[in-house]
Amino acid sequence: MVTGAAITMIVLGALIVLFGLFALIAGAFVGGAANEINNSTPGFGGMAGAFAGVIIVIALIFLAFGILDIVAGANVLGGRSWARITGIVVAAVVGLLSLPGLFNGGNGAGGPIFSLILVAANAFVIWALATTGSWFAARPT
């Protein structure tokens, strides 16, 4: 059960990192387009550049969560107690952040289905790590 939770954490972390990299590249493209918009229409006030900055900050947050999930998942395999707690917290945060996707009315390419898979995977990670404290206690630190 711990191995399944660790592998789930590593896979979800890798997907989050890929999404963060995609968002980072998208933010860079928006920033480049914002420069063109500001040059062609000076009355726009730089809002496109601010929007690009927000996209980049969100992408960096995704990257941080993904890397933290991968590192915690790898250390859960080693039986580290800090990784167990970190995994529970990260899975809870990601699960809560994916809940609004369940109620978007079916817009997009499988939004509610993808959100349901994320919620279920993170619920499994929380359950598996929360119920196996004795396995972690028996491991040498």
Alpha helices in 41-110 (DSSP H): 47-77, 81-98
Q: What is the pLDDT of residue 34?
A: 72
Full residue range of the structural domain in which residue 28 is found: 2-138
Residue 97: closest CA among 74, 122, 127, 73: 122
Length of the chain: 141
- Residue 135 clears pLDDT 80, i.e. is over it: yes
The C-alpha atoms of residue 85 and residue 95 are separated, in whole angstroms, by 15
Residue 137 has which token pair?
Answer: 């206690």
CB 94 within 8 A of CB 118: yes
pLDDT tens for 58-94 read: 999 999 999 999 999 999 998 899 999 999 999 999 9
- Residue 38 clears pLDDT 70, i.e. is over it: no
pLDDT tens for 91-130 read: 999 999 888 888 775 555 567 888 889 999 999 999 999 9
Residue 100 has which token pair?
Answer: 């609004």
Position 31 confidence tier, pLDDT thresholds 50, 70, 90 = confident
Question: How many H-runs (helices) and E-runs (strands) does the chain carry?
Answer: 5, 0
Domain count, the chain: 1
Q: What is the pLDDT of residue 19?
A: 92
